Structure 1
Amino acid sequence: MTHAPARPAPGRPGWIDLASPHPETARAFYSELFGWYSYTLSVPGYGDYTVFTLGGVQGPEVAGMQPLADDTQPPSWTCYFKVADLQTAVDAVKAAGGRELTPPTDYAGIGSMALCMDPEGADFGVATPGNLIEFGVVDRPLTMCWAELASRDTGRARRFYGAVFGWEAVDREYHGSVYTNWKLDGRSVAGMVAMDHGWPPHYPAHWIPYFWVDDCDAAAARAVELGATIRVPPADVQPGRYAAMTDPTGARLAVITPRTATGPGGAV
């Protein structure tokens, strides 16, 4: 089956960026797990930036990677949300109680981005595309197809992200717990899970990307062979079968085999 490239609209997740303490280890892991190709750009004033693609150097871009700038920070994927105007989005973040971590910056044609933090401390980005990356391909196999926030104060998160992106929060009950689907123009664009007593007490709020795979169990098993640690073994939920893990450098991610051809957003 041929999947046409899907590009995100404003208010939806579109680009993801890995900050890794061991970029070569991470490069090998994602190349083996997802079959991604990678090349490195030298961005004046910012150092090296790795771009992951599908199908070789001419393939569509799916993610970026850079070395971890501060050894005191944990390895992590940052989810970026497309916006129409970067400064307006950053102003909305601050007005709603969040913080600007890095100001709007043009990365030499890659795109203009700003890193932000919500009131609970979960990092995320806002971005507008540049000449090179019209934002990554999403919602197709081997790409990001869902973004999920783990939050301890879900009411506060609802108010914050509703104010910043115009999202509507719709709650669904899954297996005795409440899962929040954020919708924009009637379409699910992201999710949120409440961090209850089952989470370690000092575990921070965070965003995690989900990657579309054809066989969740096989992908989880292969990830372990490549050095990942499974945090949530393969399990069935309404949108599909998923597993959560940390990669060999410690960054959190999940894989999912959707139940529908439109991905998890089409099933929630």
Structure 2
Amino acid sequence: MAEVLEYAWNTPSWVELATPDIEESKRFYAELFGWGSYVLTNDRLGDYEVLTLDGPDGPEVAGMSQLADPVERPMWLFFFQTPDIETALKRVGEAGGQVLLEGVDVGDLGRMGTGQDPEGVEFGLWQPYRHQGAARVDEPGALAWIELAGADLEGASTFYSRALDWRVGALALEHLGERLEWTTEDGRPVASAVSGEEDPFWLPYFGVADCEAAVERAEAAGGRVLVEPGEGPSGRTSVIVDPHGARLVLVCRPPDPGRAREG
């Protein structure tokens, strides 16, 4: 896929892993996806690890930050593109969510804020200046899809439709419960959600060229397989956890040039 130059509003443009061990996580994802990295320093937010494809000078695909408390659960945080952080954060509160971090400039890269939905699931908002977001999507080693796992589908539908103008594009029954798919206002797929009994969390899907081979790399690097490779709505997928317990999905599918994150 060609370099992504801009993102549609209210679509995910960046993904970040909060981990208790930066160096160990860098090693694992380098072995799994071939990610390189470099450090971005900000006076207010401190050092931030930027993850790249094909070495430290390659296209940026994700970020990594240190958990403030090592006993906290590692998590993936998605940032949704917005033209105005303050307006977007106000909408989060009006929709029944909570603002965790008011808008703050990240140098000349952009302006960020974070919030929680009514079930306590955290997400970020990004108003771009110089940095639009990930330079690659929908290819091996890059973000391919996002899903809200374990959600109250009715409550999630109401909140994200109000906060991010998402629309429910499809609803289907699965053997483990219900699944819905969200679209942007103009009908392009943007995210999905599945019901469940555990606490909800955002789950990233990362592209791989061969699902079985990627699973072998993950296990060799210290990860663990939760769901063996199989066919699903997004392609051939496998759910894994990294050495610190952060969950992610490996997905093998043809590139989709119509994905909403292209802008």
Percent identity, aligned pairs only, is: 38
Q: Could you tell me how far apart the structure 2 residues matched to 1:45 and 1:67 are?
A: 15
Q: Which amino acid aligns with 1:234?
A: P
TM-score using structure 1 length: 0.90
| Aligned residue number for residue 200 of structure 1 | none
Q: Could you tell me how far apart the structure 2 residues matched to 1:69 and 1:179 are?
A: 33
Q: Could you tell me how far apart the structure 1 residues matched to 2:259 and 2:51 are?
A: 23
Give the superposition deviation at 1:70: 2.4
Matches within 5 A, 1:71-82: 71-82=70-81
> Deviation above 6 Å: which 4+ runs of structure 1?
none
Q: Which amino acid aligns with 2:168?
A: A
**What are the superposed Cα offsets for residues 54-104 of structure 1, whole Å, 9 maximum, x if unpaired?**
233332211111111123421111011111111111100000110111111
1:263 and 1:227, CA in 2 relative to 1: closer, same or farther beyond 3 A? Answer: farther
| Aligned residue number for residue 178 of structure 2 | 178
RMSD: 1.8
**What are the superposed Cα offsets for residues 169-218 of structure 1, whole Å, 9 maximum, x if unpaired?**
1333254443111001111010101114xxxxxx3211011101111111
| Aligned residue number for residue 234 of structure 1 | 229
| Aligned residue number for residue 206 of structure 2 | 211
| Aligned residue number for residue 134 of structure 2 | 136
| Secondary structure, aligned partner of 2:236 | strand
Q: Could you tell me how far apart the structure 2 residues matched to 1:204 and 1:236 are?
A: 25
Does the CA-based 8 Å contact 1:114-1:125 persist in structure 2?
yes
TM-score using structure 2 length: 0.91
Q: Which amino acid aligns with 2:255?
A: A
Does the CA-based 8 Å contact 2:36-2:53 persist in structure 1?
yes
Does the CA-based 8 Å contact 1:230-1:245 persist in structure 2?
yes
Give the superposition deviation at 1:10: 1.0
List runs of 5+ in structure 2 lacking aligned partners.
none
Give the superposition deviation at 1:265: 5.0
Matches within 5 A, 1:22-101: 22-101=21-100
Q: Which amino acid aligns with 1:241?
A: R
List runs of 5+ in structure 1 lacking aligned partners.
197-202
Does the CA-based 8 Å contact 2:22-2:66 persist in structure 1?
yes
| Aligned residue number for residue 14 of structure 1 | 13
| Secondary structure, aligned partner of 2:157 | helix
Q: Could you tell me how far apart the structure 2 residues matched to 1:221 and 1:264 are?
A: 30
Q: Could you tell me how far apart the structure 1 residues matched to 2:194 and 2:182 are?
A: 11
Does the CA-based 8 Å contact 2:33-2:140 persist in structure 1?
no
Q: Relative to structure 2, which stretch is displaced further, 5-14 or 168-177? A: 168-177
| Secondary structure, aligned partner of 2:252 | strand
Q: Which amino acid aligns with 1:253?
A: L
Q: Could you tell me how far apart the structure 1 residues matched to 2:116 and 2:202 are?
A: 11
| Aligned residue number for residue 199 of structure 1 | none
Q: Could you tell me how far apart the structure 1 residues matched to 2:96 and 2:110 are?
A: 25
